Amino acid sequence: MPDGPTTQTITSASDQRKSVPVVTVESFFNTHGEKLALRLEGPRVGFYRKIREPTINRPGLALSGFFSYFAEKRVQVLGAAENTYLKSLSPKLRVKRFRALCEQKIPCVVISRGAHLDDALMAVAADEEIAIFRTPMITMKFINAATIALEVDFSPTVTEFGSMVDILGVGVLIRGVSGIGKARVCCN
């Protein structure tokens, strides 16, 4: 399996090759896990899931049962507020609310500040094949660092064939299809 984000290549009419990133939970964890101090909690499930937006979501309202405008395409992070709220619920309601979160098409859940989920919530995540990670980072520091990492992963790339030359201090790119002699033109 690749360590970083994979890409899908699209060739357009102008002969440019654009790479569209596909970031899975596995590539996110393999690429950024050490820097973000991520540790897998529970079974290794859901690593195939796709992260479809390069930012992080705090599911506070979702945990209260409100899913209008819920950002299901994002990594979900449970900080001190979310964990305190979950602990304030009865065990039965806590499981019900967490199950409702996990039934969304979320990629994964990160628990910040080194907190742990209780066994009942870990079982829900395992049943729904949602990877649970833990980080000792404070919530906002994790959100900022993870968002920057995902922005880089989601940055579009374009492949161009060309040669660069300096003409009177101005950089000029001579573009063309591979093998037509651009370098020969530039260097003579």
How many Cβ atoms from other residues are within 10 Å of residue 185's Cβ?
Answer: 12
Q: What is the pLDDT of residue 155?
A: 87
Which tokens hold the place of 175? Answer: 């573009």
Regarding whether 95 and 18 lie in a shared domain, the answer is yes
What is the residue whose two structure tokens read 């003579």?
188
Domain contains 1: no
Closest C-alpha among 111, 115, 114 to residue 131? 111
What is the residue whose two structure tokens read 């050490």?
34
Q: What is the pLDDT of residue 7?
A: 52
Number of domains composing the chain: 2
Q: Helix crossing, 119-127 with 91-102: angle to 10°?
A: 30
Regarding whether 98 and 180 lie in a shared domain, the answer is no
Regarding whether 181 and 114 lie in a shared domain, the answer is no
Domain of residue 96, residue span: 6-155
| pLDDT per residue rounded down to tens, the chain (188 residues) | 456 666 554 444 444 555 557 899 999 999 999 999 999 999 999 999 999 999 999 999 999 999 999 999 999 999 999 999 999 999 999 999 999 999 999 999 999 999 999 999 999 999 999 999 999 999 999 999 999 999 999 987 777 788 888 889 898 888 888 888 777 665 55
CA–CA dist 70, 62 (Å, integer): 7
Confirm whether pTM is higher than 0.85. no
The runs of H, that is alpha helices, within 33-79 are 60-63
The answer to whether 93 touches 117, Cβ cutoff 8 Å, is: no
